[in-house]
Every structure is written in C-alpha cells, then in structure tokens.
C-alpha cells in the first residue's frame, strides 16, 4: 500500500494537526460551562453524584473516536492510497509518445493501413511501462500537437491513440522531436512512424532517449503532385490544364493520367515515371459550361491511392450581353468585337422598347449612341453624346477645340489611359454630381462622367469613333475599362490550382493593389495572409478550397491533394527500436480512495446521528411560551 498524492510524513502531519484540533474542540465542547443562575436550590435535586466522577474525564469517547476515524479515512482518500507495490520516486517517468499522423500513414498495408500498425505498436509499448509512468500523446504531421497532458490514466491514453487518424500533410520530424524534447519528460520519446518525411525537415541531432516504433510498409507510390487550370489567353473558351505526377518509389512505374469533365473522358496520357522524379502533362480543354474536372492517375500496385485523384469545379464563363441602339452601328462594332467576353447586339433606335422574343435574354448593358429613349433604361447604360435635354447627367456647355487635360485616376476606369495633346473638335461638357466620377475632363469641365448606383451610367460627351480619339490607344482602353467597371465579374480571370495543405505562395501580378486582395476559405471565412512584394503567402491547416481575389483575377486553390513526404528517413543505428521486452515493475495496484471516502463520510454521519443530532437539538432549543402551570381562576 502506498500513497499517491501525499507522503507518509505529510499524511501523519496532517492527521496529527487535524486530530489535535478535533480533540481540542471536543474537550472544549465538553468542558465545564460556567453559568450564573438565580438559585441553586433546584439544581441540587438534579445532581447525580454517581456520574460526576466519570464525566470529569472524557465523556462520550466513541463520539471522538468516530470523528477521528472519519477524518483519518477522508485524509487517506485525499492522499490517494493505493494497494500494491510502490515504485521508487526515480522510477516514475514521463514519456512522450509521438504518433505519426501524416498523410502517408493512410497507405494500405495488408488488411489495414500504416496507421493501424502504428496504433497497435503504441498500445503494445504502453503495456510495457509501469502504470505509475505518465505519457503524453502527440500527433505529428506538418505540426506537432499534443493530444493529452502527461497522463497516468491508461484509458485516456488509449483513447487518444485510438482516435488518431492520418492527416493531409507530410511529417515534419524535426519539429515533432523538438516539441517532445521541450516537454522535459524524464522518460522516453517514443516515435511511431513509417519514416516518410518531408524533405529538409530532418533534425540536426536526435534525442538520446528516442525510441522508434517503426511501421514497416511499402514505398511504391505514384501520385498527383500538382494540378493547375488556367483560362487560355488566346481563347476564352479554352482551359489549359497542367498536371504534375511524381513517382515516390524506388523503381520506374508506368502510369496513365486520365482527365474527365462532368464524368466524360476528355483526355489521357501514358508515360513512365522514373524513380523519385516528376513529370508534367498538359491538356487543352474547351468549355464555357461549369462542371467538375477530375484528374486520375492509374498505376499498378499503388499503396497510397489517396493522392491519385484530384478534382476541380470549373466556373461558368459568362459573356457580357450588350445591346447597342445606334443609327450607325458600324462605328462601335470594332470596339465591342475586340473583347471575346462581350456579346453585342446592334439595334436601330426605333427598335428601343419593341417587344422582344420570348427566349431573348435581357441585356446586361445598353449603349445609346446619340439617342435618348423615352424612358430611362432599367439596367446599366452607356450614353454617347446624348441630347442635351435628355441627358442623365445635366449638360453644362458644348466645347469646341477643347483639349483633354485629365483622365480619372480610378483604378478600373482610368487603367492605362493616357493621351498627349488630344484635342476634341467638339465635346459636350457635363455638370458632375458629388458622387459622379469625371472620367475625362477638359479645362472647362468633365466630358465623360461615370455615375455609380444600382444602375451604373456612363455619359460620354464625344463619340470615341467620330473624334480624334479613335487614333489613340485610349479609345479601346476607355471602352474596355468602362465595360469592366460596369460588369467586373464578366472580366475576372480564373486560375485553379490543386496542391497540398500547408503554406501556399501566390505570385501576384505587378502593381496589384493590396487593398483589393482577399483570401477566403471554403466556408467563407477570411484567412490571414502576408504580402511581400509581389508574393502572397497564406497557411491552410485543413484540406479544402481557398480563393484568392486580386481584383481582376481570382485564384482558386483546391488543397485536397494529400502531401506525401519526399524522403525516407534513414534511422541511425544508435536509435533504440521496437517494443521493449520489459515486464511491469509493480504489481497491479488498485485505487481505494472512493471506498475510504465513503467509509469516512459514513463514520462522520454515524457520529452525527448518534451524538451530534442531540447536541444540535439542544442548541436549537429556544425559550418558548410554556404550558401554563395553573390556569384556572383562583377563588
């Protein structure tokens, strides 16, 4: 029998101190109480000399003994007394059990996975250590995370082992061992791993108390390393798909890389991957529709199928529908036809408001060329040289021979606009409102005004194809900027990338405004990021989709491909291996504190029932109205 929480000396000291207090209180409670009374004449008949001598000593000794016994039992319960052989203080150790929870531990082996074997070895090791030893369970992949504190309760430890599952990242062995050393445990650092680690994550020195529970498994694996989808620059309907596959095994492997869109095969490649080498395959796939693109790697004898498949959901490529009401449509056709994202329809001004075919889609933007409709359009609109009385922005004056002196510095509207000594033969000047944007101005005032709102409106005081602007590069740029300002979502450039969880570096376009950058997780939450120059960096700890918005570009990262370690850890010979053949040092111990606590409480309860209740009743006795002794009338 030994104490878990208190030493024998501490227990005896505590018990002596409390017992002394109890005895003192007991004697004080039963010491003679001085009372001043009105007379002694009624006390003498009540005096019992036969008991006087006995009560001068300790009265009710069983009451005191029961109290002392109860307190002693409660103290024993607090001390955590155990039945069994106690180990010496130096034999009680704190161990750190590192369970490799990297993605590779999900590789198939025999009837289960590498993780199953690791768990079995961890449980076997746990049975060999004394029950008094404490163990901290740490799950390690890219980061090392403790699951339990130093715990002696085997049920808690086994539950932590049982619930450990393979993750999505590679094992960072150096960090896991550093964490284990920082815990300061005096026992062993036990590492249950298959030995596949991330390159460059090897520790400089290994801790001397390291024990390796090596999980033997296959090394042959071919998997997708990276996948990228990018809208073609030349053809907006086409997607360029780049897939990188890697052979992690020691022997060459023939693989087939198949690509499917919405369940339909759209391409495949066959190649031979050399040992520990990567190969990239490129696909060109045309579609405007949304759907799931899936890349699948087929190879024989692959032990880790989780990295053989990756899929993306392609967004719908939507065109901007523009309806032009112009008496001279030939002027504007080149401007609109140059943009593949724009689908333009040209109508005569007289057709404005005419009934449309039932299946005709409502235009996104209406361009009114020198024409004002009877009622303002209920959508975004571009007015070119509107009639003075019907202009949506009040006309201030008409200028002749006016030089464009200023273009807006708005990031979208003014992108790339620059002219030198551009003189307009004739231009309409406008009175811009407080929220309006003066896109182009002459000395006397603005000649192109943008008005934000529910329906965005652009009013141009000169025709881009009927003035000298048509000879400038600013003409198509101005029109492209206006359309992008009106419908920015139609001009987004998509790029989809598949990869592993962890730190992701994104190359930003030059001069990207950091204020327009947002990094959003799959659940809509904002993910912290840093921007260093033209490089954006964020960290994703869980598999999922991350969107990076940079104004005109949206990058989608599907971080669902498991990260498999590139290197096989060559274990030094000095490292102890396997489950030790050591029997437990102590016999089986039993906790009896709850029985002791129950017995102690029972003793105190019995003492109260037998003795204390009576004393409580006496203290509670208050002088009340007595029954009248003589209540009949004297006569």
Partner 1 sequence: MTRDEPLVDRNFLERLERLTLHWQKSFPGLVGGHNRSRFAGSGLEFLDHRNFHHGDDLRAVNWRAFMRLEKMFLKMFQVEPRVPVRVMVDISRSMTTGAESKFAYARKVAAALCFVGLVKLDLITIQPFSDHLEHSFLCGGGRHRFMPAAEFLSNLRPRGAGDFLKIAREFNHEYSQRGLLIIISDFLDDKDCFKPLQYLSDFGHELMLVHVWAEEDRVPPWEGELALEDAETGANLEISFDENSRKIYTEAFDEYAAQLRRLALRNGGRYAGLPTSLPVEEAMFGPMVTTGGLA
Binding site for partner 1 (CB under 8 A): 29-48, 51-52, 55-56, 59, 615, 618, 621, 623-626, 628-635
- Report the candidate in 484, 533, 488, 486 with the shortest Cα–Cα distance to residue 506: 533
Q: Which is closer to partner 1, CB of 27 or CB of 91?
A: 27
CA distance 311 to 62: 81
Q: Please list, residue by residue across 386-397, b when 16 or more beta carbons sit within 10 angstroms of its beta carbon and e when fewer do.
A: beeeebbbebbe
CA distance 635 to 631: 12
What's the min distance (Å) between Cβ of 23 and partner 1?
Answer: 16
Q: Which tokens hold the place of 192? A: 């249950």
What's the min distance (Å) between Cβ of 632 and partner 1?
Answer: 7
Q: Which is closer to partner 1, CB of 63 or CB of 131?
A: 63
If you write DSSP's letter for every residue of 437-487 in order, what string do you get?
EEEEEETTEEEEEEE-SSS-EEEESS-TTTSGGGGSTHHHHHHHHHHHHH-
Q: Which is closer to partner 1, CB of 33 or CB of 511?
A: 33
Is 361 in contact with 388 (CB distance < 8 Å)?
no
What's the min distance (Å) between Cβ of 626 and partner 1?
Answer: 5
What's the min distance (Å) between Cβ of 621 and partner 1?
Answer: 5
Is 414 in contact with 439 (CB distance < 8 Å)?
yes
Q: Which is closer to partner 1, CB of 49 or CB of 453?
A: 49
DSSP 8-class letter at 526? B
Tokens 């329906």: give the residue: 455
Q: Which is closer to partner 1, CB of 34 or CB of 420?
A: 34
CA distance 192 to 180: 13
Q: Which is closer to partner 1, CB of 204 or CB of 620?
A: 620
Is 568 in contact with 202 (CB distance < 8 Å)?
no
Residue 9's Cβ-side half-sphere holds a number of Cα atoms within 13 Å equal to 0
Q: Which is closer to partner 1, CB of 208 or CB of 628?
A: 628
What's the min distance (Å) between Cβ of 134 and partner 1?
Answer: 53
What's the min distance (Å) between Cβ of 605 and partner 1?
Answer: 22
CA distance 385 to 626: 113
What's the min distance (Å) between Cβ of 83 and partner 1?
Answer: 42
Q: Which is closer to partner 1, CB of 47 or CB of 523?
A: 47
Maximum Cα–Cα distance across the chain: 141
What's the min distance (Å) between Cβ of 39 and partner 1?
Answer: 4
Q: Which is closer to partner 1, CB of 44 or CB of 511?
A: 44
What's the min distance (Å) between Cβ of 634 and partner 1?
Answer: 5
What's the min distance (Å) between Cβ of 41 and partner 1?
Answer: 6
Q: Which is closer to partner 1, CB of 471 or CB of 630?
A: 630
Q: What 3-state DSSP class applies to 540?
A: strand
- Report the candidate in 286, 164, 274 with the shortest Cα–Cα distance to residue 234: 286
Q: What 3-state DSSP class applies to 569?
A: coil
Is 495 in contact with 471 (CB distance < 8 Å)?
no
Is 269 in contact with 281 (CB distance < 8 Å)?
yes
What's the min distance (Å) between Cβ of 616 and partner 1?
Answer: 12
* Dihedral angle of Cα 29, 30, 34, 40, to the nearest 10 degrees: 140
CA distance 170 to 532: 26
Q: Which is closer to partner 1, CB of 62 or CB of 271?
A: 62
CA distance 246 to 236: 30
Using alpha carbons only, give the angle 215, 216, 221 rounded to the nearest 5 degrees: 110
């Amino acid at each position: 029998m030994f104490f878990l929480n208190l030493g024998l000396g501490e227990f005896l000291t505590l018990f002596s101190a409390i017992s002394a207090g109890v005895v003192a209180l007991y004697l004080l409670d039963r010491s003679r109480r001085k009372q001043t009374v009105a007379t002694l004449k009624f006390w003498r008949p009540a005096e019992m000399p036969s008991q006087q001598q006995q009560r001068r000593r300790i009265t009710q000794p069983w009451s005191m003994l029961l109290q002392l016994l109860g307190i002693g039992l409660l103290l024993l319960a607090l001390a955590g007394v155990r039945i069994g052989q106690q180990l010496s203080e130096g034999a009680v150790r704190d161990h750190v059990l590192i369970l490799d929870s990297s993605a590779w531990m999900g590789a198939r082996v025999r009837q289960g996975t590498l993780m199953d074997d690791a768990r079995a070895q961890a449980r076997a090791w746990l049975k060999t250590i004394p029950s008094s030893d404490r163990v901290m369970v740490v799950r390690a992949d890219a980061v090392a995370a403790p699951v339990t504190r130093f715990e002696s309760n085997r049920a808690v430890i086994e539950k932590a082992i049982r619930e450990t599952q393979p993750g999505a990242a590679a094992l960072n062995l150096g960090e896991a061992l550093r964490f284990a050393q920082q815990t300061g445990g005096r026992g062993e650092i036990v590492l249950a791993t298959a030995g596949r680690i991330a390159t460059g994550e090897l520790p400089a020195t290994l801790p001397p108390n390291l024990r390796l529970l090596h999980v033997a498994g296959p090394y042959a694996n071919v998997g997708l390393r990276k996948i990228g989808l990018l809208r073609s620059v030349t053809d907006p309907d086409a997607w360029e798909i780049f897939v990188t596959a890697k052979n992690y095994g020691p022997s060459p492997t023939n693989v087939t890389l198949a690509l499917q869109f919405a369940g339909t095969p759209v391409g495949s490649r066959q190649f031979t991957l050399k040992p520990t080498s990567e190969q990239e395959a490129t696909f060109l796939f045309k579609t405007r529709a949304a759907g799931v693109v899936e890349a699948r790697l087929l190879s024989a004898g692959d032990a880790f199928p989780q990295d053989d498949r990756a899929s993306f959901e392609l967004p719908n490529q939507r065109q901007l529908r523009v309806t032009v009401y112009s008496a001279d449509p030939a002027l504007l056709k080149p401007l609109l036809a140059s943009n593949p994202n724009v689908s333009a329809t040209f109508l005569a001004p007289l057709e404005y408001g005419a009934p449309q075919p039932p299946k005709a889609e409502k235009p996104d933007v209406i361009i009114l060329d020198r024409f004002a409709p009877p009622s303002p359009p209920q959508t975004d609109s571009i007015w070119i040289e509107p009639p003075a009385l019907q202009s949506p922005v009040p006309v201030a004056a008409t200028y002749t021979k006016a030089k464009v002196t200023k273009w807006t510095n708005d990031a979208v509207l003014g992108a790339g606009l620059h002219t030198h000594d551009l003189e307009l033969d004739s231009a309409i000047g406008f009175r811009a409102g407080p929220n309006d944007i003066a896109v182009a101005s002459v000395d006397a005032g603005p000649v192109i005004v943008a008005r934000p709102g529910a329906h965005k409106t652009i009013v141009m005081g000169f025709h881009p194809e009927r003035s000298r602007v048509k000879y400038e590069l600013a003409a198509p740029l101005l029109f492209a900027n206006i359309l992008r300002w009106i419908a920015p979502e139609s001009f987004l450039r998509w790029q989809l990338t598949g990869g592993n969880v962890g730190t992701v570096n994104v190359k930003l376009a030059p001069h990207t405004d950091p204020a327009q950058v947002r990094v959003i997780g799959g659940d809509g939450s904002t993910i912290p990021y840093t921007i260093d120059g033209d490089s954006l960096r964020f960290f994703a700890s869980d598999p999922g989709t991350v969107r990076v918005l940079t104004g005109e570009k949206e990058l989608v990262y599907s971080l669902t491909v498991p990260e498999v370690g590139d290197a096989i850890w060559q274990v030094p010979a000095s490292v102890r291996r396997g489950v030790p053949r050591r029997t437990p040092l102590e016999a089986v111990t039993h906790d009896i504190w709850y029985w002791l606590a129950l017995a102690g409480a029972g003793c105190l309860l019995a003492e109260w029932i037998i003795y204390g209740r009576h004393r409580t009743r006496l203290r509670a006795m208050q002088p009340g109205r007595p029954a009248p002794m003589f209540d009949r009338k004297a006569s």
